[in-house]
Amino acid sequence: MIKLHHLALALAAPALAHAESAQDQANGFIEDSTWLLLNRSVFDQRDYRHGARSNGARNAYKPRDQRNGAAEEWAYGLMGSVQSGFTQGTVGVGVDAHLYYARQLDSGGGRAGKVRLLGLDNEGHPKDNAARGGAAVKLRWSNTTLSYGEQRVKTPVFSSSDSRLLPETATGFFLTSQEIPNVKLVGGHFNESTDRNASSHDRGFVVNYSNGKQGNSFDLAGVVYDGVPGLVTSLYTSRYEDSWRQHYLSASYRKPLADDRSLGLDLNLYRTSDTGKALSGEIDNTTWSLISNYRSGAHTFSLGYQAVDGNTPFDYVTRGAVYISNAVQLSDFNAPNERSWQARYDLAMQSFGVPGLVFSALYVRGSGIDGSHVDPRGGYAWLGYGEGGRHWERDLEARYVVQSGPAKNLALSLRHSVHRGNAAQAETDADQVRLAVEYPLSGGF
C-alpha cells in the first residue's frame, strides 16, 4: 500500500507553501458551502446484430454482455450533492455528501438485452427505481486536502465515470496537494468502487474485461506538471491488489497559431503487468495512443493512432479510467495486439449564430487483433479472441447547451453509433441511439 501519511508529511514543507494558501482563505464550514442538483433523463435504444461474436460476463463494460436482439430503456436520474466549506484554522474540516435517485420511465416492453441504465432484479429486468448515497470527511492543511469516505475520483488510473444515468463512486482515502507551484500531487487507497447502475456498496471493484477473482484494494500515486506554457504532463503509478500494476504517462500540448487557429497533440501511454497472485492471469501489456487536432474557427479536425502490445486486452478498474484516444462509445479498440486509427470532425455553430450547438462525427477502425496466446487460465480467456480480428465504429452526435434565460445550462445531446466487426474481435455488432437531457441547479448557503 502507498503510505499516504508519509506522502502528506513530505508535501507539508513550509518552505514550499504559497504566500497565501487555500486554507488561509477559508471562510467557514457553512459560508463556503455549495449545493448542486442535477436532473438527467436518458433514452438508450440498441439493436444487437447477428454476424459478430456475442459473449457474456458479469463485469462486461461494452455491449458484448448483451444477447443479440433489441434493447431499450428510458430512465430519469436525480443527483443531489453538497460540498461544505472548511472550518477556519490551521487544519480545516469539511464534509461532502451526495444522494442519487433513479426512476425507470420505460424498459422497452421487456425486450431482451437491457442497456443497464438501472440495476437488474432477480429475473433480469430493470428495477423500477433505485437510490444510493454517501459522504466523505475532508481535512485541509495549506493547499493539501485529504478526504475519506465515498467520493468521486478523477485520475487516469482510477476514475468515476458519469457517462450513463448516475455516476460511479469509490470508497477510500484520496489526497491532493498543490504546495509546489505548477505541480499537483495525488495519492489514493480504495477498497471498493460502486458501478453507475448499482444500488449497494458491497460488490468490490468494477473491472471492465477480466472475469477473474477480484483484488481487495487499489492504490495510486501521481504527479501533474503544467509549468511550461501550453504543455501539461502527468505520471501515475497504481496497484490493483494481487492482479496488476499499472503505470501511466501523458503529455498534452496546445499551440495557438493565429487568431482563431490552434494545434493540439495528446499522448497517452499505459504499461500493465501482473503482480502478486495474478488473479487475472499473466499480463504484459503496453497500450498507447497519439491524437492530433487542428482548429480553425468553427472547424476542428482530429487524426489519431492507437496500439496495443500484449496478449491480453488493455484493462482498467472503474469505468472512467481509460484515457486512450480510441476508447469511444461502443468499443475501446483495446484488444490484444490491436492497431487502430481515428478520424474526427467537430463543428461549433457559434460562428454561424447558434452558440452552444456543436456537431461531431468520428470514425475508428481497428485491425491486427490476435488473442490466440492469452493465458488460458486467466481472466481474459472467456472473451474468445481469435486471429485476424478487425472492426470499426462510427459515432455521430449533436449537442446543444442553452446559453441564457430561465433554461440556461440546459443540455441536450443526441447520438447515433454503429459498431461492426468479425468474430475474432470478440465484440458485438450494434446500432445505438441515445438521447440525453440535463438540467443543473446550483447555489450556496
Looking at residue 3, what is its pLDDT?
A: 52
pLDDT tens digit sequence for 2-41 = 454 554 444 444 444 446 899 999 999 999 999 999 999 9
45-49, 52-56, 248-252, 349-353: least confident range: 52-56
pLDDT tens digit sequence for 246-278 = 999 999 999 999 889 999 999 999 999 999 999
Residue 9 identity (one-letter amino acid) = L
Q: Is 333 exposed, middle or buried (0-12, 13-18, 19+ CB in 10 A)?
A: buried
- Within 10 angstroms of residue 359's Cβ, the number of other Cβ atoms is 15
- What's the pLDDT band for 242 if we cut at 50, 70, 90? very high
Domain that holds residue 419: 4-444
pLDDT tens digit sequence for 408-426 = 999 999 999 999 999 999 8
- What's the pLDDT band for 153 if we cut at 50, 70, 90? very high
Percent of the chain at pLDDT exceeding 70 = 90
Residue 344 identity (one-letter amino acid) = R
Strands 169-177, 183-194: pairing is antiparallel
Number of compact structural domains in the chain: 1
Looking at residue 110, what is its pLDDT?
A: 52
pTM (two decimals): 0.91
Cell of 100: 442519487
CATH number (domain holding residue 15): 2.40.160.10
Strands 299-309, 339-348: pairing is antiparallel
Q: How far apart are CA 34 and CA 315, in angstroms?
A: 36
> Rounded to the nearest 5°, which phi and psi values hold at 164?
-120, -125
